[in-house]
Amino acid sequence: MKPAPFEYVRPSSRAEAVAALATHGDDGKAIAGGQSLVAAMNFRLARPAVLVDLNGATDLDYLRPEGGKLRIGALTRHAAFHRPVVEGPLGVLLARVVRNIAHYPIRQRGTFTGSLAHADPASEWCLVSRTLGAEMVIANTGGERVCAAADFFRGTFTTAVGTEDLLAEARLPLLGPNWRSGFFEFSRRAGDFALAMSLAALEIEGGVIRAARLGVGGVADRPLRLEALEAQLVGQAPSAALFAGMGEAARDLITPTEDIHASADYRRDLIRTVVNRALTQAAS
């Protein structure tokens, strides 16, 4: 239960961090909050030879709306979202979701982009990013590129971030004033990993759904956005029957993973329920 030996470097800027990751290549591993990484290192499931600690790179510590997006720097902790960080529906949505991430002390240290880079299938921020169509800013010594959420998540613990890359920022679209959100997660104990969860965002005007975002997490090797169902929601009036039907449709669309915690059938049942409850909360 003690980590294997490693070298420790502490760059003092984003540029230095990118340079350090390039220098160490496959041996190097970026650490921000470390709330998943250090646990894995203590179990020796992860044995990085060099740890590149981002905590000294203060130019990665920012969180600001700009150009219709919320820009989240790589040192933004989960706890920053406990209260709405921007006016309007996005801040409310993030504050609603963050309470489901692990526990209060973990949220003091863990980071938003760290969760994305770790890409646990049960990660709330991965679901938020996929469902809302986030953009990820990936930096290396050659410059930076922007990766859409649809291309970012490649499977369990696997993303578009390469060994010499730094996930420097995530950008979430600010939602207009008519958007509302709902989130529902099922886990067996407070703070446990989600067995299934759903995020819904609806733009409702004049009693009609004008636009919709709907995603499900914790049920596959990556977060799923249900665009086919989003299209079916548009133009409809919110109702209990509509949302119950969406829950059933989501259940029939997804072939869930099976593990020691839940069978595929059980997760199928959960999908129906979490989708219905997320949509119902969004419309209430």
Partner 1 sequence: MADKRAVTLNVNGKDYRITVEPRRTLADALRDDCGLTGTHIGCEHGVCGACTVLVDNRPVRSCLMFAVQAEGRNVRTVEGLANGEELHPLQKAFWEKHGLQCGFCTPGFLMLATGILEAEPDISDEDLRDVLSSNLCRCTGYQNIIKAVRAAASEMRACQPSASL
Q: Could you tell me if 89 and 201 are in contact, meaning their C-beta atoms sit under 8 angstroms apart?
A: yes
> Contact between 177 and partner 1 (CB under 8 A)?
no
> Contact between 27 and partner 1 (CB under 8 A)?
no
* Token reading at 254: 């997804």
* Token reading at 218: 């914790």
Contact residue for partner 1 among 145, 191, 237, 255 (CB under 8 A): 191
> Contact between 111 and partner 1 (CB under 8 A)?
no
Contact residue for partner 1 among 103, 151, 205, 259 (CB under 8 A): 103
CB of 271 to partner 1, least distance (A): 25
Dihedral (CA of 260, 265, 271, 273) sign:
negative
Find where tokens 């965002």 sit.
201
> Contact between 68 and partner 1 (CB under 8 A)?
no
The identity of residue 94, as a single letter, is: L
Segment near partner 1 (CB under 8 A), from 34-42, 153-161, 209-217, 267-275? 34-42
Pairing of strands 7-9, 50-53: parallel
Q: List the 166-173 sheet strands across, edge first.
A: 63-66, 69-73, 166-173, 135-140, 143-148
Find where tokens 């540029």 sit.
15
Contact residue for partner 1 among 27, 43, 58, 158 (CB under 8 A): 43
Contact residue for partner 1 among 99, 176, 232, 257 (CB under 8 A): 99
The residue ranges that bind partner 1 (CB under 8 A) are 1-8, 10, 34-35, 38-39, 41-43, 51, 53, 55, 79, 99, 103-106, 108-109, 189-191
